[in-house]
Structure formats: C-alpha cells, structure tokens
Amino acid sequence: MASRPNVLLRNPSSEESNLRIAWSVKLNVGTYKKTNISSTVFRYDLEIKIPVIFWNKKQKRAKQVGDFARGKSINSQLDKIIKRLQDHYDDCLAREYYPTKDDLRQFLNKETHRISPNAKKVKASEGKDYKSIKNQLEEIWLLIRRRKTDEDIQLIERKKQKVFRSLKNIDLLKLSFKDQFSAWIIILLYKNDITISAAHTYFNRLVTLLSFQESNKKLNIDTVDLGVFQEFLSWAHYVKDYGQNTISLTVTVLSSFIKWSYHEGLTDNRIWEHPDFVASPFEPETIALAEEEIWRVIDFDFSAIETEITKKSLLLGQKWFAIFFLQGIRFSDNSRIDRSNIITRKGELYFDVRMQKTQRKNRKAVIPCHWRTLEILDENDGRPPKIYRHDSLAKIFRELCFWAGINRIVEVTEMKRNTIISKKVPAWQAVSIHTGRRSYATMLYNQGIAIESIRVFLGHASVDQTIKYLKISDWDIADRAVKTGFFSKSD
C-alpha cells in the first residue's frame, strides 16, 4: 500500500513559499523499454503560493484563521489534488502498470491546469483558437463520415495530426460535450488506438447521444448518473426503436469517454465504475412476419390510402420494406444494396459486399439477389431508393403493416422500471427494422436452407447468434424433419 503524499513548503526559510508535493512511492524507474520497480521520492512543485507564517507544518495544511482568508480554499484544493493523485496511482496498479515520474507529472499538470509558456502566448487569442478547433473537429467529423476514396483516407490522416496539435493548447474543459467527445475520438485516432472505421462508429454513437441530448438537457460528462442512464435506455428502446446492439455499443462508448474524461481531469464523475452502468442484456422481443404477410405488404396498393404519412413516403417505405424483408440486411448496410455490388455466376445474380459490422474482420458476404430487389434497383437506375432515418423508417413500416391488415395478436416483452413485462398487441405494432432480418432468417429456414448459409447471409459471427433470430416453434422443427422423408415408409 503506497504512503500518503505529503505537502511541504518549497522554501520554508522565506517569507512566502510555493507548495510542493513529496511522495515516497513505488514507481517504474526503468530505462526505455525496461521495467524496474523501486521505491523512490516523487516531487512536484505546485503553483500555489502561501505566506510561511500561515502554514501548519504538523498538519501539512494552511492555517484557517481570520487573517488568512485563502486557507480553507487552499486546503480544499490540496485535498482534491492528493485524492486524485492517489486514485490515479491506484487505477494504474489495477491495470497492472506502475507509472513513471513523468506519468505522474503529466497527470498533475492536467489536474492543476498548468499553463505552459506556449499556451500563455495562445491565451491572448483564445476565443479565435476555440472557434478554430471547433471548426477543425467538425471538418474531420464530416470527412470520416463521408469517406469514400483513398484520397479521403490520406486527408483524414493529415487532418488528425493537425487537430491533435491544436488540442494540445486547448483547455478541454471549455469545450461543449459534443466537442469534448469529438476531441476524444481524434486523440484515440491519432494514437492509433482505434481505426478510421471505428472512429466512424464512435461518431455515429455521438450522433445518438446528441439526439438524446435534445430531449434531455442533463446529458454531459458531469451529470450522467443512473437516473439519466435509465432515461436514455427508455428513450432508445421505445422512442427511437434502436436494437440492443446499438444501445449496448452506445453505452460502452459513453462509459469509455467518461472514464477518459475522469483521468484527464475533466470531471469528477466516476459513473463508469458503477456495476449498473451497463446496457441490460434484455432486448425487447421482436416478431417475425410470415411469408404471406410480407408479400401482402409488398403487393398492397397504398395509392388510395389517406394517412398522416405522405403517399410518397409510403411508397418509398414499401420498397425498403421489400429490400429489408427479402434481403435481410442491416440498416447500416442499406447503401450496399447497389447494382455495382452485383455479380453474375452461372446465370444467377449475387450481392458481393463487405458488411459494415464485419468489414474490420475483412470478411465479405455473397448473398443471392432477390428478383424483387433487382426490380427496385432497376427502377432507380441501379441505385437504392432514398433512405429515411432509422426511427422514421420503422414508423413507416408499422403504418404499412397496419393498412395491409397485419393484425394477428402477438406477445411481446418490454422493460419498465427495470422490470420485464409481457403484453399482447397487434403484430403491426411490434414491427421494427430488425423484424426484417428475423423474418428473412425464418423464411429461409422454412425453405430448407441450412443454418450455416443463413449465418453467412446475415453476416453473423456464429451459428448460435443466427439461431436466436429464428422464430420457429417445435411443430415447425418437426414438420421440417418429416419433409425429409426419413420417417416415412418407402414404397
């Protein structure tokens, strides 16, 4: 157990002195790429001046007397610095890492917001610089989200270095939640802790959090608590209709960001340590539509329907309904349904695509192209139709199913106040974007296609994940077995 850091006077014989932290502690004092752990004295001079006569040598704190009004404030500041220093050291040990003297100095520099000589020169034009860094962060964000060519990748590589250099002279505390989050992503990208593809995913999660922030002004690194967290889960599940994967990833990224912010001295919030600050493994039960129901929606004539959703939106939504339910794609892969990704083999057409969630594993999927999907692409010069936002498209899908008469009663589950409840609703109310993938998997299985093939088409890493998508009963499994002829007497 490390001893407690002490605070001493740097020049006790003078009238006024700077305060100094002196700590006998085990540190990594090895040379480059070598580890040598030993007890050593770590010293750090604080930029806090105090008249010597107002320093209590025994208690190692300022005297809190009427003649010295700053005593209480100084002691409070010292207590906070010492506690954060000890917590930082303990966090390092928890990661099986002994810090060096330089590690502790860098931490304390950030903790005390020490201004370097170069930063002092910048301070005069602080307003201009903060506006500049915001513009730079916005620019690289757009580049990462819209990247298409190798030239875009090279430009991102150059931009991230420029942004990182600018961030070194910026007090991150003065940035907004959005800009702090963006800065964190760029720092990770600069240090090669994440790839450009991962940065794109992180920025998408930031978009999710900013969308939630519009309805909940409490969202920032200081005020995120279990109450705000539960509000986010309810909003994501029931307002935005997000899948569990999206919610879990957003929570994981937010937790990592708050943890980084704590270590950088941007917040005292340690919510990331709370065992309940994780996305629940619960996922609202989603249904699978039968093949007959899917075609009822695809073939339904919506031209005479009067609804709050425009006819143009209904017709576009009907096309996307066909693509999602007949191709089983993820929402993130909608742009890959394109004529340019279709190959011909033995007279048959296939999509040859690298899916968004599996591209980091350099894995491609070859998926048979459904004839209805091909018709929709040909109607739009080989390109997919205009796409709506996730929540908007889910609303359109439910409207389509309502008017097509998908009214059978289904049992679904949802979570309210950490309690899972079941209820019965008309099937159209339970339809989501993800219903397309589950319906697609179930249809293929009922057609006799092997689960391993379905796994490949869905882009899953394991068959176990695919099995969870199948909405089949024991009777479905038994009927499938009987159709093989194994149980029947041959003539």
pLDDT band at 164 (very low <50, low <70, confident <90, very high): confident
Output the CA–CA distances (angstroms, integers) from residue 96 to 67, 82, 275, in the order listed.
Answer: 47, 21, 21
CB of 187 closer than 8 Å to CB of 167: yes
pLDDT band at 241 (very low <50, low <70, confident <90, very high): low
The reported pLDDT for the residue numbered 390 is 77
| CA–CA dist 138, 184 (Å, integer) | 13
DSSP track, 290-309: -HHHHHHHHH---TT---SS
Over residues 417-442, mean pLDDT? 85
What are the two backbone dihedrals, phi and then psi, of residue 327, each rounded to the nearest 5 degrees? -120, -15
Q: Are residues 138 and 97 in the same domain?
A: no
220 in a domain, yes or no?
yes
* Distance in Å from the first CA to the final CA of the chain: 82
Which of 213, 238, 273 is the last residue before a domain boundary? 273
491 in a domain, yes or no?
no
Rg from Cα positions in the chain: 30
| CA–CA dist 460, 79 (Å, integer) | 51
Using the structure block, give the residue that is written with the tokens 């298409």. Answer: 148
| CA–CA dist 432, 242 (Å, integer) | 9
Using the structure block, give the residue that is written with the tokens 């030239």. Answer: 151
Residue 94, amino acid: A
Q: Where are the alpha helices (DSSP H) in 15-174?
A: 71-94, 101-111, 117-123, 126-146, 150-167
Q: Are residues 53 and 178 in the same domain?
A: no
Q: Are residues 103 and 209 in the same domain?
A: no
pLDDT at 68 > cutoff 80: no
Strands 348-353 and 37-51: unpaired
pLDDT at 273 > cutoff 90: no
Structure tokens at 124: 């005069």
CATH number at 439 reads: 1.10.443.10
DSSP track, 35-65: --EEEEEEEEEEEEEEEGGGEETTTTEE---
Q: Are residues 48 and 134 in the same domain?
A: no
145 in a domain, yes or no?
yes
Residue 31, amino acid: T
User: What is the phi-psi region of residue 60: left when phi exceeds 0, alpha when psi lies from -120 to 50, beta otherwise?
Assistant: left
Q: Are residues 214 and 104 in the same domain?
A: no
CB of 249 closer than 8 Å to CB of 205: yes
Q: Are residues 425 and 460 in the same domain?
A: yes
Residues 6+ away with beta carbon under 8 Å from 172:
180, 183, 264, 266
| CA–CA dist 144, 198 (Å, integer) | 10
Q: Are residues 97 and 133 in the same domain?
A: no
DSSP 268: -
Q: Are residues 237 and 369 in the same domain?
A: no
Which of 52, 83, 114 is the last residue before a domain boundary? 114
pLDDT digits over 287-326, tens only?
Answer: 899 999 999 999 999 887 877 778 888 899 999 999 999 9
Biggest alpha carbon–alpha carbon distance for the chain: 112
| CA–CA dist 416, 473 (Å, integer) | 28
**Least confident stretch, 348-352, 429-433, 444-448, 473-477:** 473-477
Q: Are residues 214 and 263 in the same domain?
A: yes
CB of 327 closer than 8 Å to CB of 335: no
CB of 137 closer than 8 Å to CB of 64: no
175 in a domain, yes or no?
yes
Residue 341, amino acid: N
What are the two backbone dihedrals, phi and then psi, of residue 475, each rounded to the nearest 5 degrees? -65, -35
Each residue of 384-420: b (16+ CB within 10 Å) or e?
Answer: bbeebebeebbbbbbbbbbbbebeeebebebbeeeee
428 in a domain, yes or no?
yes
C-alpha closest to that of 162 among 181, 147, 143: 143
| CA–CA dist 140, 136 (Å, integer) | 6
The reported pLDDT for the residue numbered 119 is 41
The reported pLDDT for the residue numbered 34 is 61
Alpha carbon 472 to its chain centroid, in Å, reads 32
Which of 69, 89, 114 is the last residue before a domain boundary? 114
| CA–CA dist 374, 397 (Å, integer) | 20
C-alpha closest to that of 342 among 385, 377, 387: 377
Q: Are residues 355 and 336 in the same domain?
A: yes
Q: Are residues 85 and 155 in the same domain?
A: no
The reported pLDDT for the residue numbered 107 is 85
457 in a domain, yes or no?
yes
DSSP 428: G
pLDDT digits over 348-386, tens only?
Answer: 999 988 776 654 455 678 899 999 999 999 998 988 888
489 in a domain, yes or no?
no
243 in a domain, yes or no?
yes
Number of domains in the chain: 3
Structure tokens at 258: 């708050």
| CA–CA dist 267, 261 (Å, integer) | 6
Q: Which domain holds residue 77?
A: 6-114
Q: Are residues 390 and 251 in the same domain?
A: no
